[in-house]
Amino acid sequence: IFAYRAASHSGVSKEAVEALVNFLNSEIVPRVRQYESIGASGDLIPLAMIAAGIIGADVDVVYNGETMKAPLAIELAGLRPLKPQLLADADIVRELVDEPETIQPEFTNLFELTDSGRMLKSDHSSATRDLVRYVFGSGSGFQLSSPYLPSLIRQGYANGTGLQQAIGSANMFEHLIKPENSELLALFNGRMTADSTQSAHMIGSAVDFARFTTLTDIGGNLGTVLAVILLQHDGIRQGIVFDLKNVIERATKKVPNEFERMAVDNNRYQFMAGDMFDSTTIPSSDAYLLKNILHDWSDSQCIDILKSIRDAANNSTSSLLIVENVIRPSTADQRLDNWRAHALDICMMCAFGGKERTLHQYEYLLKKSGFELKQLHLTAGPMSIIEATRLKS
C-alpha cells in the first residue's frame, strides 16, 4: 500500500512499483515465514534509514559500521528524503503557497504542521505520538504476537498465547516493567494516555456519574479519564485512581499530575496501588469504572476480576461501569459498525488470549461474578458503556 501510494507522488511507474511488490511477496515474505527474519538484505537498508528519519531525528541508525542520527545517515548515503507532499497528503502538514516564479518548488516551498500534525509533536498533551510509535513499533504486544496468528488459528493456545510464544510470558505488563524495556514502557504509558485523552469526554458525557459519591477507576493509569469525569460531574465527592504500584508511582511523580493539569480540587481525588485480582487491595466505592480492561483477559480471568471487585464493594448497591468496544448486532446496512471491535478482537486473541465481546457475552460474565446488567450506554465514538449493579449476597 505504501509503495503504490508513494509512486503517485514520486513519478515512479506503476510497472516498477508492481515489480517491487512482487519481489517483496515472492522473496521477502517467504523468508520471514521460514526463518522469522528478513535476513541481511542490503536492498532494505535505504528504506530503513528513511523510515527512521520519518520517526524522528533523534533515532540512531548504523551506516557503514558507525552509529549516527538518521538525518546524517540519509545524507551520507546520498538518499533523497521523501517529498513533503506525502505528509501533506496524509494531512500532517500543509503547503504554504509561494510565489509563482518559484523555480524548484520541491526544495523551496514551505510547509507547516496541520492540527493533526501538531498532535504528533513530542510535547503535545494528547501523547498521540507515543500511541503511533507504540502501536506500529516492533515492541508492542500486537507486533510481537502477530507472527503467531496462523498457528493460533490452527492449534489454539496449545503452545500458549502469541505473547507467551514471543517473550515467554503471558503478561505484557511484567515484560514492560523490566529495566531494559524502560523506553517501551514510556511509549506504552503514553499510548494509554492518548487513548484516554481521546475518549474521556465521550465517556463522561454518556453516563450520569454525579449520582455516585465515590468512583474508583480500576486500571486508571495516570487518571486522565477520571479527572475529566470529576470536572464534568461536581456531585462526585471522591475519585480514586487504582492501578499497579509502578503505575501509581509514575502517576504521583508526574508534575503536574493529570488532576493538577486540569485544575481538579486536590481534595476530590487520590491514588491507590493494588492488584485487581486481590479484593483486599481494592477500595470500597459507590461505583467502579473499568476502561479497556476486560478485553485483555479470558472469560475465567474476567470473572475473577469482577468477583474481586464485588467482594471489595461493601455497598450492596455498588455499580459497575465497563467501557469496551462492545460488538453490536449488525444488519446488512451496518456491517462496518463493528470494524474496530472485530480488528481489536483479533489483536486481543492473538496477544493475550482475550477478546472483544457482545453484550450477551458480557451479561454472562456479570451473572457469573455476582452482578446484574442494567443498561448499555452508547457514546459518540466506537466505545460503549455497560452498567451493572452488584447483586445482594
Cell of 80: 533523497
The domain total for the chain is: 2
% of the chain residues with pLDDT over 70: 72
pLDDT of residue 77: 64
pLDDT of residue 88: 59
Phi, psi (5° rounding) for residue 342?
A: -65, -40
Mean pLDDT of the 250-260 span: 94
Is 242 within a domain? yes
Whether 240 and 107 share a structural domain: no
The answer to whether the beta carbons of residues 286 and 214 sit under 8 Å apart is yes
Is 127 within a domain? no
Indicate if the pLDDT at residue 189 is higher than 70.
yes
Whether 186 and 99 share a structural domain: no
Indicate if the pLDDT at residue 232 is higher than 70.
yes
Whether 271 and 186 share a structural domain: yes
Mean pLDDT of the 125-149 span: 79
Mean pLDDT of the 124-153 span: 80
Mean pLDDT of the 101-129 span: 73
Is 27 within a domain? no
Give Cα 310 distance to the centre of its chain. Answer: 28
Cell of 303: 470473572
CA angle 187/188/190 to nearest 5° reads: 65
Whether 238 and 288 share a structural domain: yes
In this prediction the pTM is 0.72
Is 247 within a domain? yes
pLDDT of residue 140: 78
Q: Tell me the C-alpha distance between 358 and 360, whole Å.
A: 5
CB atoms < 10 A from the CB of 365, how many? Answer: 22
Instruction: Write the pLDDT tens digit of every residue in 21-76.
Output: 555 555 545 544 454 444 433 344 444 444 444 444 555 666 666 777 766 766 67
CA-to-CA separations, 101 to 85, 88, 112, in angstroms, rounded:
19, 22, 21
- For residues 297 and 111, the model is more confident at 297
pLDDT of residue 70: 65
Is 214 within a domain? yes
Whether 192 and 239 share a structural domain: yes
Q: How far apart are the first and last CA of the chain?
A: 56
Which of 118, 133, 154 is the last residue in one of the domains?
118
pLDDT of residue 338: 79
Is 298 within a domain? yes
pLDDT of residue 191: 83
% of the chain residues with pLDDT over 90: 39
Is 213 within a domain? yes
pLDDT of residue 44: 45
Is 12 within a domain? no
Q: What is the DSSP string of 99-153?
A: -TT-S-HHHH-EEEE-HHHHTTSTT-TT-HHHHHHHHTSTTSHHHHHGGGHHHHH
pLDDT tier at 208, thresholds 50, 70, 90: very high
What's 241-297 look like in SS3? Answer: EEECHHHHHHHHHCCCCHHHHCCCCCCCEEEEECCCCCHHHCCCCCEEEEECCHHHC
Look up the domain containing 102 and give its range: 92-118
Instruction: Write the pLDDT tens digit of every residue in 362-392.
Output: 999 999 999 999 999 999 888 999 999 998 8
Whether 226 and 99 share a structural domain: no
pLDDT of residue 336: 55
- For residues 97 and 268, the model is more confident at 268
Bridge-based pairing state of the strands 319-324 and 287-291: parallel
The answer to whether the beta carbons of residues 216 and 242 sit under 8 Å apart is yes
CATH of the domain at 186: 3.40.50.150
Indicate if the pLDDT at residue 263 is higher than 90.
yes
pLDDT of residue 43: 40
The answer to whether the beta carbons of residues 117 and 92 sit under 8 Å apart is yes
